């Protein structure tokens, strides 16, 4: 800065101008090259009549209350960012050291030239147009240009241009500041490439992959995962996986940071909404420390305790189906045997029930006092009849096959119901019945006797089939729904068959009640036994008294009912 410019700061009013011109000449006449030294010399012996305002202003400069102009100059000169000052047409007036270092041009090579000396001609013209429109409207422009150094090597310049106005508010200069961001851009590009590469690899993988944050948000997923969203009708698959992992293997996302090396090949079952077949997945999970972007944690990254779960799920429904098929065949054989035993039990129990009635009459007759000799013969006959009746009863009781005592285990009711429907496929198809299967997507396992429970649901479904056959409706439907209600499972079996009259809705559970038009092999023990099984599991079964146009049976099974009843 020249002395004239330094003096323009002190032009307080026009009356002072003559004196100031004199002072300016005095300061210029001092020998030193340094403006500050010259001011100090001047203050040491100011000319007579120097205005006090000028002396105060110079003294305050001296006492460091204001930074001396030299310091501003040094600051700009030594700033680590390339700085240039141009006239309003971008003709360069000044460049700093960093500018020289960055561009490779010495200042004398560029002063007087246009900033376009740096242009590599790879920047689109529209960018320059936008740059000039912005700075011409007296605003700051910020953007990226492709520049080249003196060596013609290209670099990316992150540039800020700020208009500098004179005291009339007109643009007198432009201040340009730029830095080389080529390396940062290269890193960004590499990061983008890595991301694309990772995404392509994930998408090409046949297994489901998702990264789930601690708040259950999905941070990253692949095509296989997205396909599941469609299969599960818009329900977020991650939440279904997490629920299933939690309920079926006790995995807790909030402790994901502690899972160590994670879990591998944990098989879980998901039931898609809308009655589609259940799907099986072998899941593996590893924890990944979550990114912490908070400024206050800048120096604490390593201490971060929040983790995401990288979930990899391989669909194993195919192999599960094959195993399931083999299991079903085994169950079929087992159930046929059970059915035979059950039919025998029902037939013998029926016979016992029927014989018991006349025996009771005979017992009652014999308990009456004998009236005369002629009745003695009758009493003897009755006693003989009672004796043979009792013997027959004893033989029947002996012939009654004993019920199978079964151990308890954890039972997935969705799986069991699905199995029962599969076992009944032939009957359902031949009766033209549509099954509307509405399982809860994830259901906790119940502690129970699997064969007894399977028998229970088989009774209910067989009853529904029989009811639909007797109703002879054109459209025949059985709806099976499962739900979880806190610690209870609710199972609903509904049909649009003949229904049960309101008055009989409790009676149907009594032994040997049979309301079918064609009882065939039915002895009326099915619902009695079904009720026995449910009660044995600490639950209850009831027929919806307010349901018309068919029958709706509700079964409520407590998750730990069996434990409680065993205690």
Applying CB under 6 A, which residues contact ligand FAD?
84, 86, 89-90, 114-116, 118-119, 123, 125, 128-129, 132, 145, 147, 157, 159, 161, 174, 176, 178
Of the candidates 344, 450, 455, 346, the residue with the CA atom closest to the CA atom of residue 406:
450
For residue 542, CA distances in Å to 465, 492, 535 come to: 18, 10, 11
DSSP state of 91: B
Q: Which two tokens stand for residue 266?
A: 């944990």
> Which one, 161 or 224, has the nearer CB to ligand FAD?
161
* Phi/psi of residue 490, nearest 5 degrees: -110, 125
* Closest to 419 measured CA to CA, from 326, 282, 534, 521: 326
CB of 185 to ligand FAD, least distance (A): 16
Least separation in angstroms between residue 112's CB and ligand FAD is: 13
Residue 301 C-beta: closest distance to ligand FAD, Å: 36
Give the nearest distance from C-beta 89 to ligand FAD in angstroms.
5
CA pair distance 180, 178, nearest whole angstrom: 7
For the bound state, the minimum distance from the C-beta of residue 55 to ligand FAD, rounded and expressed in Å, comes to 38
Query: Cβ of residue 96: shortest distance to ligand FAD, in angstroms?
Result: 13
Angstrom CA distances, 207 to 226, 282, 487, stand at 11, 10, 34
Of 171 and 317, which CB lies nearer to ligand FAD in the complex structure? Answer: 171
Element (H, E) at 162: strand 154-165
Smallest distance, Å, CB 109 to ligand FAD? 15
Residue 507 φ then ψ, to 5°: -60, -35
Report which of 278, 262, 272 is spatially closest to residue 316, judged by C-alpha positions: 278
For residues 507 and 532, is the Cβ–Cβ distance under 8 A?
no
Q: Is the Cβ of residue 84 or residue 482 nearer to ligand FAD in the bound state?
A: 84
| Smallest separation, CB 150 to ligand FAD (Å) | 13
List of residues 6+ apart from 225 with CB closer than 8 A: 208, 209, 210, 218, 237, 238
Smaller CB distance to ligand FAD: residue 118 or 508? 118
When the beta carbons of 95 and 456 are compared against ligand FAD, the nearer one is: 95
Name the 3-class secondary structure at 492: strand
Nearest distance in Å: CB 4, ligand FAD = 24
Angstrom distance (rounded) from CA 525 to CA 405: 19
Burial, 384: exposed, middle or buried (Cβ in 10 Å; 0-12, 13-18, 19+)? exposed
CB of 140 or CB of 380, closer to ligand FAD? 140
Dist. CA 31–CA 40, nearest whole Å: 12
Which is closer to ligand FAD, CB of 161 or CB of 310? Answer: 161
Q: In whole angstroms, how close is the CB of 308 to ligand FAD at the nearest point?
A: 43
Closer residue to ligand FAD (CB): 151 or 373: 151
d(CA 470, CA 517): 7
DSSP reduced 3-state for 354: helix
Q: Smallest distance, Å, CB 67 to ligand FAD?
A: 24
How many angstroms separate the CA atoms of 117 and 77, rounded? 21
Q: Which of 265, 258, 309 is nearest to 284 (CA)?
A: 265
Answer positive or negative: Cα dihedral of 30, 34, 38, 44. negative
- Is the CB of 86 or the CB of 473 nearer to ligand FAD? 86
Beta carbon of residue 180, minimum distance to ligand FAD (angstroms, whole number): 11
Encoded tokens for 193: 């490439």
Q: Which of 95/213 has CB closer to ligand FAD?
A: 95
Between 137 and 167, name the residue whose CB sits nearer to ligand FAD: 137
Whole-angstrom distance, CA of residue 525 vs CA of residue 226: 49
Looking at beta carbons only, is 114 or 247 nearer to ligand FAD? 114
């Amino acid at each position: 800065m020249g002395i004239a410019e330094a003096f323009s700061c002190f032009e307080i009013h026009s009356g002072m101008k003559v004196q100031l011109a004199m002072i300016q000449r005095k300061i210029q006449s001092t020998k030193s090259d340094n403006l500050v030294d010259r001011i100090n010399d001047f203050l040491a012996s100011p000319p007579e009549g120097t205005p006090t305002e000028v002396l105060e202003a110079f003294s305050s400069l001296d006492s460091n209350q204001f930074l001396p102009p030299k310091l501003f100059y040094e600051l700009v000169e030594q700033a680590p960012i390339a700085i240039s000052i141009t006239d309003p047409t971008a003709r360069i007036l000044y460049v700093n050291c960093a500018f020289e270092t960055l561009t490779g041009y010495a200042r004398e090579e560029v002063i007087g030239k246009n900033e376009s000396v740096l242009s590599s001609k790879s920047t689109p013209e529209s960018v320059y147009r936008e740059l000039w429109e912005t700075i011409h409207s007296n605003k700051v422009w910020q953007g990226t240009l492709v520049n080249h150094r003196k060596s013609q090597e290209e670099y990316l310049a992150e540039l800020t241009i700020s208009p500098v106005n004179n005291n009339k508010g007109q643009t007198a200069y432009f201040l340009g500041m730029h830095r080389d961001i080529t390396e940062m851009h290269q890193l960004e590009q590499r990061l983008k490439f890595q991301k694309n590469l990772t995404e392509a690899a994930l998408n090409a993988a046949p297994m489901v992959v998702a990264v789930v944050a601690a708040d259950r948000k999905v941070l990253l997923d692949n095509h296989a995962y997205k396909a599941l969203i469609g299969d599960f009708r818009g329900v977020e698959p991650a939440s279904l996986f997490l629920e299933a992992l939690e309920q079926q293997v006790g995995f807790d996302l909030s402790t994901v940071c502690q899972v160590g090396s994670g879990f591998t090949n944990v098989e879980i079952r998901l039931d898609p909404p809308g009655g589609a077949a259940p799907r099986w997945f072998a899941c593996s999970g590893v924890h990944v420390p979550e990114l912490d972007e908070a400024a206050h944690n800048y120096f604490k990254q390593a201490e971060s305790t929040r983790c995401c779960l990288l979930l990899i799920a391989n669909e194993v429904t195919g192999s599960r189906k094959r195993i399931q098929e083999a299991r079903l065949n085994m169950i079929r054989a087992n159930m046929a045997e059970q059915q035979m035993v059950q039919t025998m039990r029902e037939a013998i129990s029926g016979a016992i029930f029927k014989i018991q009635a006349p025996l009771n009459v005979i017992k009652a007759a014999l308990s009456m006092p004998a009236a005369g000799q002629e009745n003695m013969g009758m009493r003897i006959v009755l006693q003989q009849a009672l004796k043979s009746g009792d013997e027959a009863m004893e033989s029947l009781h002996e012939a009654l096959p004993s019920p199978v005592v079964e151990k308890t285990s954890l039972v997935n009711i969705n799986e069991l119901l699905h199995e029962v429907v599969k076992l009944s496929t032939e009957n359902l198809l031949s009766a033209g019945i549509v099954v509307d299967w509405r399982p809860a997507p994830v259901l906790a396992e119940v502690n129970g006797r699997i064969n007894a429970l399977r028998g229970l649901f088989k009774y209910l479904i067989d009853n529904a089939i029989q009811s639909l056959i007797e109703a002879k409706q054109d459209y025949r439907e059985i709806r099976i729904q499962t739900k979880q209600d806190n610690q209870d499972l609710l199972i609903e079996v509904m049909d649009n068959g003949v229904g049960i009259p309101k008055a009989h809705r409790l009676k149907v559970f009594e032994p040997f009640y049979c309301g079918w038009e064609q009882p065939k092999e039915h002895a009326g023990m099915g619902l009695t036994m079904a009720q026995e099984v449910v009660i044995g599991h600490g639950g209850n079964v009831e027929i919806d008294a307010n349901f018309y146009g068919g029958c709706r049976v509700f079964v409520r099974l407590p998750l730990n009912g069996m434990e409680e009843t065993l205690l």
